Amino acid sequence: SDADASARWAWADVDLDAIAHNVEHLRSVVAPSAVWAVVKANGYGHGAVEVARAAMDAGAQGLCVALAGEGAQLRVAGIDAPILVLSEQPVAAADDIVRFRLMATVYTVAFIEALASAARARRVEGVPVHLKIDTGMQRVGVAVDGAVAMVAAVRAQAPALRLVGVFTHLAMADEPADPFTARQLAVFDDAVDALSLPPGVLVHAANSAGALAHPGARRSFVRAGIAIYGVSPGHGVDALCGALRPAMSVSARVSYVKRVAAGSRIS
Ligand SMILES: *Cc1c(COP(=O)(O)O)cnc(C)c1O
């Protein structure tokens, strides 16, 4: 904490040992898959740089962020781990992705071309790219029937760009009884098969709930957010979260005590 808690009535403590414990626990659950720690939104409010360091020290293999600027912040702090930006960024952020050696997520030809231009302008080759495929979340990502063309669009930008990963995002993984997750994974498998990827391309699908409740979703690595902070992703997976330790605690001291007459109205 950057503030002196003794000078405040209320404060939040972040226990980085709990982050480390949670990462180690998840690693043991998902092995041989790896764990990448999601530290977007300032590490879910816990401090992105501190959480990133704790997670990497505990054996995470990489980091995920929502914005190129969040990745840049980690690089400026001296963090050298792989950093994946989880969604396509505005074209204006393409140069920062190259400059700060981030992994880009792509799903439009316009952004692929912008990223390749940014790489060429800096004479950088092999900017790592992950293709995001929408298998039913209906948020971002290329439609399944457009995935082959999108891989071709990345390959057309060699040597500036290099496809290193293919992924999808699960919509219902926190409700293990819902058959939607199995359907998404089946759609994903068909889409990945159709890409005939060379060996070594990373394949990933699971958020925290997927990692805990759906062994078939674990793949090359899991993208664990809420679970590394020690919070269950949802009631449907509470039973699988017993070994997680909450990393944040909020405390307050009583600031003022007043006696009032019986029957008087307060506040
Ligand atoms: C935020 C996010 C995650 C992490 O989700 P949790 O439920 O917090 O584990 C994983 N993948 C993507 C694409 C995300 O945006």
Please indicate whether residue 27, judged by its CB atom, sits closer than 6 Å to ligand 1: no
pLDDT over 60 at 152, yes or no? yes
Whether pLDDT at 5 is above 90: no
Nearest CA to ligand 1 atom 6: 225
Does the CB atom of residue 225 touch ligand 1 within 6 A?
A: yes
pLDDT tens profile 74-115: 999 999 999 999 999 999 999 999 999 999 999 999 999 999
pLDDT for 2 beyond 70: no
Tokens matching residue 209: 């709930």
Looking at per-residue pLDDT, the higher value among 6 and 255 belongs to 255
Substitution site in 23, 135, 223 for ligand 1 pocket (most atoms within 8 Å of beta carbon): 223
Whole-number Å distance, alpha carbon 258 to ligand 1 midpoint, is: 46
Using CA atoms, how far residue 251 sits from 14, 17, 93, 111, 225, in Å, is 11, 18, 39, 45, 23
Contact 169 CB / ligand 1 (< 6 Å) = yes
Give tens-digit pLDDT for 26-85: 999 999 999 999 999 999 999 999 999 999 999 999 999 999 999 999 999 999 999 999
Q: Which residues pair with 163 in a beta bridge?
A: 129
